[in-house]
Amino acid sequence: MLLPDTTDYATLRAKFRWEIPKSCNIAKLVCDDWAARAPDQVALVHVDAAGTARPLTYLELQRTANRLANLLKASGIAAGDRVAILLPQTPETAIAHIAIYKLGAIALPLADLFGVEALEYRFNNSGAKALITSHASLEKIAEIRDAVPGLAHVWSIDGPGEGAAGLHEAMANARDSFETVDQGPDDPALMIYTSGTTGPPKGALHGHRVLAGHLPGIQFAHDFFPQPGDCIWTPADWAWAGGLLNILLPGLYFGVPVVGHRFEKFDPERAFALMADQKVRNTFLPPTALKMMRAVPNPTSTYDLNVRTLFSGGEAVGRELQDWSMDQLGQSINEVFGQTECNLVLATCGAAGIYRKGAIGKAVPSHEVAIVDADGSPLPPGEAGAIAVRRPDPVMFLEYWGQPEATRQKYIGDWLLTGDQGLSDEEGYVYFVGRDDDVITSSGYRIGPGEIEDCLIGHPAVKLAAAVGKPDELRTEIVKAFIVLNEGFAPTDDLTTEIQTYVRERLAAHEYPREIAFEEDLPLTTTGKVIRRLLREKV
């Protein structure tokens, strides 16, 4: 399941074979194996708000995860049960994932910035039985606790709090040994909710094979990772596929120290300082973070940087960022493409000579990617169609949780449809053309308009609402809302601020509409659906 020892792209594709072990519990691969052969090797380096770094070895990670696994089991959590993790980049986040996998339960990572409505929906839709969180989120949990009756246990890493037991206090008397359960490739391991581009967000359920499915892409995008001295970090939340599956779990698997640090708000100067202080050599930086870091003058003169690899994705990188990275960091940006359901399938790799300006890259040697038409037939170079990935492929999701029809519609024959349009050239480079849905890409997040619109119409002033993406130089797109007001309400600056705050508090900081336009009516189809295409023409 690793790339052959060559940098020649054609040879990589010809020689690669998937060899997924029948027993592949993620906890064993990222923790137990290392604790057995290199117990004192550093697995994580947690940097707190004051800048103090605390290293954790694989043995420490294993023993703490064993205690948590025993606590979960004693609390009635069994194989297949969903356990939510609502935490930023902390050691407990990694420990929770490992403990949940050890037990055979399903990890449900949730972004720390989610509001109450987003959390309530995900708790109830997933049927989560337990939550591991921090004091920062307890007020939100208390507000919806009665509305999520299935949530039997809440633990806080900061000690007892409103409606929560202290996690470390509860673990104190638990045994630090635990026999990790045997799990096959298709046994469920984790579930990450999509952005909800059509209807409510969907839970993309992944099997334990998902880690193995990511490894070739990580090696490729990080110029044949790992190399001696590598150390990996990302500002991306570990609740997202980009942070969890592109950085945290692969870093632990390869024995490369993973740096964790919580930014209350991304600060480019602090990011550079962190990279210098922790000797970060490998990083995943979303384009929006790169755009902010570009504003820092002469970073290599100010900070002792030693970047070996940098990859980015989630939105287009663009030539300006590429030129800046080469000029200021001495490093090209390897671009990657994927989605929650099927991640890291296209990439560039400077060390293999796979790079072309304007292109996403080529298929990672382990995956088969094509541009297909509406019937699922591959198209010739130069013709635009759907970017699709052939199954079976271990990086693919198992299903949408409780939605068999939506799962079926994700495929045409053996091709998984990414929902993005592209075209390829004669040499196999893929170029992004556009989206065939209404997803909004902002600061690296893929945001579905449905959830925003549902939240907007919950405000007493809002009669109808539609959300679209508006091009933005820094964030790629911002959310713009078109709103028809209820009778008795008038458009004012105060009302605009009130509605923005309403969405921000209930969903997430990256989902609230940064611009609002008040309309007399919205363009609708004969069946009552908003024609967002016409609204996008107005932004």
pLDDT at residue 436, as a whole number: 67
Q: What is the mean pLDDT of residues 349-373?
A: 95
Find tokens 């030129």 and name the residue. Answer: 323
What pLDDT, in 10s, does the model give residues 282-327? 999 988 888 889 889 999 999 999 999 999 987 778 777 888 999 9
What pLDDT, in 10s, does the model give residues 32-76? 999 999 999 999 999 999 999 999 999 999 999 999 999 999 999
Rounding to the nearest 10 degrees, give the CA dihedral for residues 110, 364, 333, 47. Answer: 40
Angle at 21 (CA atoms; ends 15, 23), nearest 5 degrees: 170
pLDDT band, residue 199 (cuts 50/70/90): low
Structure tokens given for 229: 């001295």
Distance CA 187, CA 80 (A): 9
pLDDT at residue 437, as a whole number: 67
Q: What is the mean pLDDT of residues 395-415?
A: 97
Angle at 56 (CA atoms; ends 55, 60), nearest 5 degrees: 155
218: Cα within 13 Å, side-chain hemisphere: 31
Question: Do residues 314 and 341 lie in contact, with contact meaning Cβ atoms separated by under 8 Å?
Answer: no
What pLDDT, in 10s, does the model give residues 489-512? 999 999 999 999 999 999 988 899
Buried/exposed code over 189-228 (b: 16+ C-beta within 10 A; e: otherwise)? bbbbbbbbbeeebbbbbbbbbbbbbbbbbbbbbbbbbbee
CA dihedral over 359, 362, 364, 369, signed as positive or negative? positive
Q: What is the mean pLDDT of residues 331-343?
A: 94
Contacts of 89 (CB under 8 A, 6+ apart): 46, 237, 238, 243, 260, 261, 262
Is the pLDDT at 527 greater than 60, yes or no?
no
Mean pLDDT is lowest, of 125-139, 169-183, 389-403, 521-535, for: 521-535
pLDDT at residue 198, as a whole number: 52
pTM for the model stands at: 0.88
**Looking at the chain, which residues constitute the CATH 3.40.50.12780 domain(s)?**
25-200
Distance CA 502, CA 514 (A): 12
Question: Do residues 28 and 17 lie in contact, with contact meaning Cβ atoms separated by under 8 Å?
Answer: no
Domain 440-536, architecture per CATH: 2-Layer Sandwich (3.30)
CA distances from 19 to 22, 251, 390, 416 (A): 9, 20, 17, 21
What pLDDT, in 10s, does the model give residues 448-489? 787 898 799 889 999 888 999 999 988 989 999 999 999 999
Helix (H, G, I), strand (E, B) or coil at 9: helix
**Looking at the chain, which residues constitute the CATH 3.30.300.30 domain(s)?**
440-536
Question: Do residues 280 and 257 lie in contact, with contact meaning Cβ atoms separated by under 8 Å?
Answer: no
Structure tokens given for 454: 């549902």
Mean pLDDT is lowest, of 90-94, 343-347, 535-539, for: 535-539
Distance CA 287, CA 292 (A): 9
Distance CA 281, CA 76 (A): 42
Distance CA 456, CA 84 (A): 26
Cα-Cα end-to-end distance for the chain: 46
Distance CA 168, CA 184 (A): 30
Q: What DSSP letter does each residue of 452-466 carry, written as one string?
A: HHHHHTTSTTEEEEE
pLDDT at residue 226, as a whole number: 98
Q: What are phi and psi of 335, to 5 degrees?
A: -90, 145
Cis link prior to 392 (omega < 30° from 0)?
yes
Beta-ladder partners of 204:
192, 400
Distance CA 156, CA 483 (A): 39
Greatest CA separation for the chain: 70
Distance CA 384, CA 371 (A): 7
CATH for 25-200?
3.40.50.12780
Sheet holding 165-166, edge to edge: 165-166, 153-156, 130-133, 82-86, 106-110, 188-193, 203-207, 399-400
* Mean pLDDT over each residue of the chain, to the nearest integer: 93
91: amino acid identity, one letter: P
Which helix (H) or strand (E) segment holds residue 488: the answer is none
